[in-house]
Structure 1
Amino acid sequence: MSFCENCVKGVTHDGEPKGKWEVINGVNSYVATPTKDYPKDKVLLYLADIFGPQLINNRLLADDFANNGFKTIVPDIFNGDPAPADALTDGSTWDLYQWFGGHGQDKTRPTVDKVLEALKSEGVTSFGVLGYCFGDPADLEKYKSDAKAPLLISSCPVDSQFPLEASEQADKIFADFGPGYKREHFEGCTHGFAVRGDMKDPNVKAGKEGAFKATVEWMIKHL
């Protein structure tokens, strides 16, 4: 997981989250459950951006996935210490890079594993994983060689951690990826658009909604 300046830019969205907080195997998690019948053996595991499920945007987005029939769980992978929401405000002095030093994969992965262990013990056998602000071009080859799950990438033109050349690289690497691969690209957007985008900007609004629609369709097809 790596960061760029756009990791701490964006807009806090309005709304009233409908899910609830639960402790899953010791991990505080936001759980969004469909109101209609849904497959109990399937879960969307939502790995949030650096603001965690504490940021209302992430909870509202989890609710949206639940409204489309997927039980969605957002574990607090930063163990009670996500980036503060006021880091998005102008003039914030919060230090992203100092924070990052104590929130690497050695800290986040054990938390994810605890949640997976608990859900499997409850009978969940299929997981879809949503990663926002997660990943790096260096992960692509490893994913191709080790993973068996189909991969959807939502890219944009302004993203220092996944620039256009990385998108082209991904298309080449996964051109013959057996499980399945697709990349959706959203013009007029910057890193973070799918969670913290300014919905007053028509390009960003179209990108956020387009990325969500593509993800729902992907999960319906593959999960």
Structure 2
Amino acid sequence: MQFFAFLSLLTAVRAAVVPAVGSSGHFHSPVPLDAVPQGKNITINGVLTYVSLPKGRFDPTVAVLLLTGELAPSSSSSQGSGADQWAAAGFATYAPDYLNGDALPTGGNVTTWAVNHGEAQTTPPLLAVISALKSHGVKQIATTGYCFGGLYTTRLVQNNTITVGTMAHPSSLNVPTDFELVKAQSHVPVEINNAELDTGFTPPLAVETDGVLGDGQYAPGYLRRQFDGVGHGFAVSLALSDPVQVAAKQGAFDTSLAFFKKHLK
């Protein structure tokens, strides 16, 4: 499967590279959660995956694929809370460990870590889980990616592998090249939640993305929402004592949820 067949057709010379922001670049650090994980870790097509299912009836032909950032393994109980939130909204949710059991440790060097976590290493486990879901009757995959996961959401959008994609404070992208590729060959709706204080996907880069996909230029559907007063990582971690952070995290989830519901058939 030539997952990146068309990438060589576009040049990245004039593109700005969105950095993979390390732990020191996050506006706030993840905090331990007291909630008991509602899902469980299972192996899907050889890939450890945190799976959380709704308590009530749900459509088994629709799945949310949650792609975590570089700081947290998808299969950890702390990251399970994100998948559990999507399950509580009525979606069977799958968070594959596409980092191959080697998330960036807190305080780790993201540049060194990235050497062994390029697309050649992380794409195969991701595609393995997607293939398994489709072979078991999943017909629509709504993908939400955070930080590093925003890159892979974008790749899945570019290649029309999923039904709808959202992302928050994405990293490791080329702007505007990656979104020009989306515009050129995709039919997948895209939504982005960005942060005013992000040191990676900065507001100017967000506006540049609007210049490619906004104002009706991207027919499948495009939405971007900026959250002020917060920085990189705001959609996955927060200081519970800060109402701005609490509202931003919930707002990003609500925005993505509404976008999924609008574009899932």
TM over 0.5, yes or no?
yes
Q: For 1:54-69, what aligned pairs fall within 5 Å after superposition?
A: 54-69=75-90
Supply the distance in 2 between the matched residues of 1:9 and 1:49 (Cα, whole angstroms). Answer: 14
Partner residue, 2:118 = 104
Change (3 A) 1:76 1:8: farther
The runs of 5 or more residues in structure 1 that have no matched partner are none
1:5-57 CA distances to partner (integer Å, 9 max, x unpaired)?
Answer: 42595122412111011100000000010111111111111111111214444
Partner residue, 1:70 = 91
Supply the distance in 1 between the matched residues of 2:64 and 2:117 (Cα, whole angstroms). Answer: 23
Supply the distance in 2 between the matched residues of 1:197 and 1:142 (Cα, whole angstroms). Answer: 33
Letter matched to residue 71 of structure 1: A
Indicate if the aligned counterparts of 1:57 and 1:195 stay in contact, CA closer than 8 A: no
Partner residue, 2:224 = 183
Root-mean-square deviation (CA, aligned residues, Å) is 1.7
The answer to whether structure 1 residue 4 and structure 2 residue 21 are counterparts is: yes
TM-score using structure 1 length? 0.91
Structure with greater contact order relative to length (CA < 8 Å, sep ≥ 6) = 1
Supply the distance in 1 between the matched residues of 2:45 and 2:131 (Cα, whole angstroms). Answer: 8
Partner residue, 2:198 = 159
Supply the distance in 1 between the matched residues of 2:184 and 2:26 (Cα, whole angstroms). Answer: 28
Indicate if the aligned counterparts of 1:21 and 1:30 stay in contact, CA closer than 8 A: yes
How many residues matched?
216
Supply the distance in 2 between the matched residues of 1:163 and 1:203 (Cα, whole angstroms). Answer: 19
The runs of 5 or more residues in structure 2 that have no matched partner are 1-17, 152-172
Change (3 A) 1:144 1:7: farther
1:117 to 123, 127, 131: 131
Indicate if the aligned counterparts of 1:12 and 1:56 stay in contact, CA closer than 8 A: no
C-alpha displacement of 1:196:
1.6
Identity %: 31
Change (3 A) 1:98 1:57: same
Q: Which runs of 4+ in 1 moved over 6 A?
A: none
